Amino acid sequence: MNFSKTLSVLIFSVLFSFNSYAQGFIDGNYKEEKSETKAVSFTQYKVEDIAEYTGKNTKAKNIILLIGDGMGSSHVFAAIAANNGKSYFQKFNNTGFSKTQSASSFVTDSGAGGTAIATGHSVKNGVISVDENNAPLKTILEIAEDNNKATGVVATSTVTHATPASFVAHNKNRKNYEEIASDFLTSGIDLFIGSGKSHFDDRKDKQNLIKELENKGYEIVLDKNNISKIKGDKVAGLLFDESIGRYKKRGEILVPATIKAIEVLNKNNNGFFLMIEGSQIDWASHENNVDDMITEVAEFDRAVGEALKFAEKDGNTLVIVTADHETGGFIINDGSIEKGTIKGSFNTTHHTGTMVPVFAYGPGAESFNGVYKNTKIFYKMLDAFEFDVNVAKKDNEEVIVKF
Ligand code: MG
Ligand code: ZN
């Protein structure tokens, strides 16, 4: 290696380590390597006991699917360590890994990642539950609707963002937020809570979809403090115009929204399908912000706890926890369970191609053990509901839409 090449490698390495080595140390006081001390937003929380599911039934009346956007195994363990080794993630006896590659890319985006789980089809990055001809691919939420189940999505992003959109909408471009918002009105969905009000009432076409939702009998909730006061059985929760804000700013929303969503949807005697997303685990990871990432995972874990508490009592509810992909190439360099500290570092500001964990509890949970493509999660949910659609594709490992 000649001198100039050696020098450029050296410069590159130094730049690279400055750019991507965001390190955090959490011990009640967050200290970034760059020296400034920030107030830590993470506070330890109580984790209640959850009895093991002992029922023999493999059919689920209800499914609660929780997606931590960008949440890899290290994200999960960082939150476990920060909470002194306690978490709801550890209440699952059935675990697997999901391979997240999309039809167009080794590294998926959240559109293709959400579509795979929602429809059982690998599609190209950037699309929302459509095939190569932009024809809609039926989602698990729509199939649940067809089977007279109540349906809902909850997210800590706009409801029109890729992950919730994949379950409710169909679009060739995940950024067509106003078109995606329109799909909520025709979807038959019973409850949605997130942000993105402006995509419904500040639109290029001047339509006021909030009025239309009201006419269709939805209870409109625009204030996060009113989540617990929701009375209706059809709910449109649009808590902010655009972004919902990071945990430090917004406070606890996912947990009260999860509790309320379960309460509302459980009024239906035929059961329900509910997707809950911890949306900003991904965003904090893109920013390589360890403190925010752990705080987002911790809130998501508490939402998982609410799902498990309901499932434990109900006995007919399958709870699945997974991610659409990993973000940031997060690794844990050191830490202490006793002190609740973690030293972690990110390797990239992008998504990565690694497998992500799958946790399952309740009737049908055993089928989530193993290593499989993300599309399989859709078919496993169909099996658990005992819905008989697309059976011909069931044994096909690669249901890839060709583009
Ligand atoms: Mg998302
Ligand atoms: Zn992302």
3-state secondary structure of 113: helix
Helix axis angle, 290-314 to 73-82, nearest 10°:
90
Side by side, which strands form the sheet with 331-336?
37-39, 29-32, 23-25, 341-345, 331-336
Q: What is the pLDDT along the chain (403 residues), one digit of tens a residue?
A: 455 555 554 444 444 443 333 444 443 333 444 333 333 557 889 999 999 999 888 899 999 999 999 999 999 999 999 999 999 999 999 999 999 999 999 999 999 999 999 999 999 999 999 998 999 999 999 999 999 999 999 999 999 999 999 999 999 999 999 999 999 999 999 999 999 999 999 999 999 999 999 999 999 999 999 999 999 999 999 999 988 889 988 989 999 999 999 999 999 999 999 999 999 999 999 999 999 999 999 999 999 999 999 999 999 999 999 999 999 999 988 888 888 888 888 999 999 999 999 999 999 999 999 999 999 999 999 999 998 765 445 444 454 554 4
State the ligand closest to the CA atom of 278: 1
Name the catalytic one among 41, 98, 104, 110.
Answer: 110
Residue position matching structure tokens 């987002």: 296
Q: For residue 56, how far is its CA from the centre of ligand 2 (angstroms)? A: 38
CA-based max dimension of the chain: 74
- Whether 110 is a known active-site residue: answer yes
**How many whole angstroms from 303 Cα to the centroid of ligand 1?**
16
* The pLDDT value given to residue 19: 37
Which pLDDT value is given to residue 103?
A: 92
Instruction: Report pLDDT for 186.
Output: 97
**If you measure from the C-alpha of residue 284 to the centroid of ligand 1, how many angstroms do you get, rounded to a whole number?**
12
Ligand having the closest approach to the CA of 277: 1
Ligand 1 centre to CA of 287 (Å) is 15
Q: Which residue has the tokens 């799909």?
A: 183
At 3 the pLDDT is: 52
- At 333 the pLDDT is 85
Q: What is the pLDDT of residue 146?
A: 93
Determine the pLDDT at residue 42.
73
* Predicted pLDDT of residue 248: 87
Distance 69 CA to ligand 1 centre (A): 5
What distance in angstroms lies between residue 2's CA and the mean position of ligand 1's atoms? 46
Among all ligands shown, which has an atom nearest to the Cα of 174? 1
CA distances to 95, 159, 373 from 178, rounded to whole Å, are 37, 11, 31
Q: What is the pLDDT of residue 242?
A: 87
| Segment holding 112, helix H or strand E | helix 110-119
Name the residue among 48, 42, 1 with its Cα closest to residue 290.
Answer: 42
Angle at 114 (CA atoms; ends 308, 289), nearest 5 degrees: 75
Ligand nearest to the CA of 285: 2
Whole-prediction pTM value?
0.89
The pair phi, psi for residue 238, each rounded to 5°, is: -125, 90
Residue 32: predicted pLDDT: 43
Judged by DSSP in three states, 377 sits in helix
